Amino acid sequence: MKRLADLTFDNSFSRLPAGMHARVRPTPLQGAHLASLSPAAAALLELSPDSLREQEAVAALSGSQLLPGMDPIAMCYAGHQFGHYVPQLGDGRALVLGEVLTAGGARWELQLKGGGLTPFSRDGDGRAVLRSTIREYLCSEAMHGLGIPTTRALCLFGSDEEVYRERIERGALLVRMAPSHVRFGSFEVFYHRQQYRELQQLADYVIDHDFPDLRDCERPYLALLREVVGRTARLMAQWQLAGFAHGVMNTDNMSILGLTLDYGPFGFIDAYDPGFVCNHSDHRGRYAFDQQPSVGLWNLTCLAQALLPLLDADDADASVEQARDALADYEPAFAAAYVSGMRAKLGLREAHPDDPALAASLLDLMAVSGVDYTNLFRDLAALCLDEAASATPLRDRFIDRPAFDAWADDYRARLRAEGSGDATRAAVMRSVNPRYVLRNYLAQQAIERAEQGDYSEVDCLLDLLSRPFEEQPERQGYAAEPPDWGRRLEVSCSS
């Protein structure tokens, strides 16, 4: 394992034309101290976790001193925010230090989130606050633990710096990792400016850097769009299956790699409510939980529009038709991934045409009764085939117990039809239904302790959520439904 100074840094994106980024040196974080680190993320860089505690590493990752090969940039992009096009956004508080090239051939961009002012700060201060930084740090690694594609979080820095949002808060900095931080809005900015040469340069970069297999396709830009459509469809299905609400699905928050990107006012569903809105600024519920799949398609439509000049340079109508064909793949891909995932959650081995209805009827019952989403699916693994429907304690979580009994009868019949065995099925279900997720109240408790200088709860949650499918008897309390105060938490975009 290596020290940070031993890593090989490059920054291929910085060699693209200047209009795609701005070179900016980080603004050193005052009184920066390493608050927490992710050993799993460090391993991706072939980096010794302990080396991150060395003063040289702290200085480099908190913005005080660059290492050889680092070439910090802020990326330029635009985006549709809550459905309205904003012609220029860009990294207002994020800086890509450079790419780490590993011995295994992987490339990981290291990005400082909270690294200071950039030309794209839009009257902001370029800083991040401790509460939102902790939430992204923990959720990035928690989503990875759940098997959901995501940016990763290497480490978290606290500081003595005061940052003003709704109130004065402690400043912080997140070191974020991803193979690329290019997003849908990165393409939109050049399409709407009619800078088609830059648009093509960006598309070529993404293909060569992230999807080299597409370069030999007859129509590489169409192949790129199809690839992103498929990845986004599968990501949306994984969000829905995990009960995860992103909260701000603007096109500038959508990764071209199909990663979960930019954790703001996210939330995992506690009491199941398909219309759950986790962002208290989303007054119309545009990004409600049950709207995420359709928003994913809407965002892809914006991306497809941005790529039109590249699809067929000689025939605009042909470009539109190609884009429509690519977008038509989204709903079947989402449905296939979602239904397959729901079968796994229910412990069903074989595909049956009535499975979507079986799952939907359970969700309907859960919504009426406000049943805890994560715990219900986890505990459903304990249901036995040879017990009467009215014998399972799960029924007591439902207001209409006879309705649940009827559903359980149908479910048992479905299991018997494929020769299901209780023990084998339970093991499989527990491997896909987590015991632990990052509930908002758990994050809030960690934040409150960290604001007093105690990061032990952050580290505890990081470890817990890296193994969300394992029973951890000493931490069973972390699977509990939220207390009353935890049900009323409001989360905003402010960071």
| CA gap 321, 299 in Å, rounded | 18
Across-strand partners of 271?
Answer: 372
**Alpha helices of 329-421 — where are they, by DSSP H?**
330-346, 355-369, 373-379, 401-417
The verdict on whether 252 is a catalytic residue reads: yes
**What's the rounded Cα separation, in Å, for the pair 264 and 278?**
10
Supply 363's token pair. Answer: 């969700």
Q: Which two tokens stand for residue 45?
A: 């860089």
Residue for token digits 């759950």? Answer: 276
Phi-psi region of 114 (alpha: psi -120 to 50; beta: other; left: phi over 0): left
Beta strand 94-101 with 128-129 is: unpaired
Instruction: Indicate which residue of 91, 252, 282, 312 is catalytic.
Output: 252
Length of the chain: 495
Structure tokens that stand for 456 in this block: 């032990």
The sign of the CA dihedral 100, 106, 107, 111 is negative
Concatenating the DSSP letter of every residue in 203-268 gives HHHHHHHH-GGGGGSSSHHHHHHHHHHHHHHHHHHHHHHHTEE-S---GGGBBTTS-B---SS-EE
Which one, of 191, 217, 156, lies nearest residue 443 by Cα? 156
Q: How far apart are CA 340 and CA 244, in angstroms?
A: 18
Contact in structure between 110 and 52 (CB atoms under 8 Å): no
What type of residue sits at position 331?
A: E
β-partners of residue 108 are 100
Separation CA 304–CA 226 (nearest Å)? 10
CA nearest neighbour of 260 among 140, 344, 342:
140
Q: Are 126 and 92 in contact (CB under 8 A)?
A: yes
Radius of gyration of the chain (CA): 23
Which residues sit opposite 156 in a β-bridge? 36, 174
Single out the residue of 2, 27, 21 nearest to residue 159, CA to CA. Answer: 27
Active site residues: 252
